[in-house]
Amino acid sequence: MFQLRRTVYLDNNATTPVSKSVQKRMAQVLAHCYGNPSSLYQDARDAAMVLQESRETVARAINADPAEITFTGSATEANNNVLVCLAEHFAGKRGKIVSLPTEHASVLGTLDYLKTRGVAVEYCPVDDMGFARLDELEKLVDENTFLVCCMLANNETGVLQDVARVCELAHRKGALVLSDCVQALGKVPLDVGSLGIDYATYSAHKVHGPKGAGALYVKNGAPHLPFIHGGHQESGLRAGTESLHNIAGLACAFEDVPCLLKHAVTIQGLRDRLVAGLRNIKPDIAVNSPEQRCLPNTASVTFPGIANAVLMAELDYYGIAVSAGSACNTQSDEPSHVLAAIGLTPDQARQTVRFSLSDRTTARDVRYALRAVANIVSGKSPAIAMISPAQLDQKILFDPSTYILDVRFWYDRLAVKGLPGAHESSFPFISRYVGKLPRDRNILVVCQAGANAPMVAYYLRSKGFRRLSFLMAGMVGWKAARPDLYLAYAGRDIAVITP
């Protein structure tokens, strides 16, 4: 008998659980180290010591000099910091950045911003596995280029770029290199010095550290301007009293990196077993992660004919956490830019799921996940009716037995009005409102772009609800498919569910 509702966490590229040692260290610092590192008395000196020791620990983990480390509030901030500061530094001297199209949103979004400030941005194509086309990169990097952005490991597919070669090519033309090392840390050996990287960014929460803590490596001598003004902290580069407990937690997580690396072979074995098992269950899957030069923990897998929003919801029903290959953007159902760059069609991208394992993943977890997928693929899982946007007409909307449950966020509702007669309760709070939902009506769950509604529908199924359906492609899809109905009825008679 298939045991329901084990919890199996296979989304470690999104974030990782905080380790016991990090929790202990952070609690210690919070309890005993409240001094402001900038003050002069003993408590402050203790705090300043924690700060310095943390910097040394982080530097050791990546083979850098402590003076090359700046603590930030996240890797997103660190990526923003490098891009914006260098654009300012090189203004009037060099005006171009070359980037991979598969970089993290924190790089791509900042590049979009810099384009509005007059910086030229060009993208180096990647091949169908996601590796940078170095011949093309060589052509794109010229004397006007001040920066090349090339992440070490991709968060969606796990592809490892040849950053050492990229550095060589860039340096030959006098350009600097920013390498987002967030996903590589703790999964592959990382020595910033020997790779030749000028700027590297890190995030604590991907290696069992706290969220809201990042680190920026700036090679000695590389230009770096203040990013947050109004204080001397972090050598005047990032003003503001240091978040000491987060920094100590980050350092503690970095200290455990050698231990994480020791698990890489085991993790890869489990990942390979998972992929082989998936191929057995559904021979037509496509694996988008390369066999060589890939993170040991990551498998991006396309399941032809199965929408990833539904697969994720069904896996969640079994207590299994995975991410979509496509962006989990609540505003639109734009397919993932990474999968698009490696040549997947929008439909293939919307059938893609990322499994990311960690040192905590066990063989039992993998077996459980495979049994759940087998159940889903063979149709043994409870099926929930899917309503297409075109299908959702007046008959369903105004049927007295229909109860429309709108699980969008307030800002989504500002962008697209709700279905007539909808009952509103935002997605994360659904467990608070379960008791208010009718069991004798057909609950139609709707969200903004189609990702959250299946999750909620399967959650309700696990709570014993039987009369359920969800709207595919969400309100964005319905507005596009039925503009006539949207104009006539959207936003009418909305009710807010109160606890």
Q: Residue 492 phi/psi, 5° resolution?
A: -85, 140
**Nearest 5°: CA angle at 286, between 283 and 288?**
150
Q: Which two tokens stand for residue 162?
A: 């040849």
Distance CA 467, CA 338 (A): 37
Give the helix ranges, DSSP H, for 198-343: 244-255, 257-262, 264-281, 308-317, 337-341
CB of 490 to ligand PLP, least distance (A): 34
* Closer residue to ligand PLP, CB minimum distance, 182 or 247: 182
Closest contact distance (angstroms) between CB of 106 and ligand PLP is 5
Question: Residue 488, class by beta-carbon neighbours within 10 Å (0-12 exposed, 13-18 middle, 19+ buried)?
Answer: exposed
Q: CA angle 187-224-109, nearest 5°? A: 60
CA separation for the pair 62, 202 (Å, rounded):
10
Compute CA distances 293 → 160, 179, 185, 290, 297, whole Å.
5, 16, 15, 7, 12
Smallest distance, ligand PLP to C-beta of residue 180, A: 5
* Given the residues 150, 259, 328, 447, the one annotated as active site: 328
Residue 489 near residue 393, CB atoms below 8 Å: no
| 234 in Cβ contact with 71 (< 8 Å) | yes
**Residues near ligand PLP, by CB under 6 A:** 74-76, 104, 106, 151, 155, 180, 182-183, 203, 214
Nearest to ligand PLP of 295, 449 (CB atom): 295
78 or 167: whose CB is closer to ligand PLP? 78
For helices 308-317 and 452-462, give the axis angle rounded to 10 degrees. 30
Please provide residue 251's backbone torsions phi and psi, each rounded to the nearest 5 degrees: -65, -40
Residue 115 makes CB contacts below 8 A (sequence gap 6+) with 121
Residue 89: closest CA among 193, 222, 213: 222
CB of 76 to ligand PLP, least distance (A): 3
Question: Which C-beta is closer to ligand PLP: that of 155 or that of 425?
Answer: 155
Helix then strand then coil, % of the chain, to nearest 5: 40, 15, 40
Q: How far is the CB of 117 from ligand PLP (least distance, A)?
A: 22
Considering the complex, state which of residue 177 and residue 476 has its C-beta at the smaller distance from ligand PLP. 177
Give CA–CA dist 80/207, Å, rounded.
21
Residue 161 or 302: the one with the smaller Cβ distance to ligand PLP is 161
Please indicate whether residue 150 is annotated as part of the active site: no
Judged by beta carbon, residue 98 or residue 250, the one nearer ligand PLP is 250
> β-pairing, 442-446 with 402-406?
parallel
Q: Please answer whether residues 97 and 147 qualify as being in contact, where contact means their C-beta atoms are separated by less than 8 angstroms.
A: yes
Q: CA 269 from chain center: how many Å?
A: 24
Whole-angstrom Cα distance, residue 249 to residue 21?
9
Cβ proximity to ligand PLP, 76 vs 81, nearer residue: 76
Q: What angle do CA 69, 74, 75 make, to 5 degrees?
A: 70
Comparison of 192 and 485: residue with beta carbon closer to ligand PLP = 192
Could you list the active site residues?
328
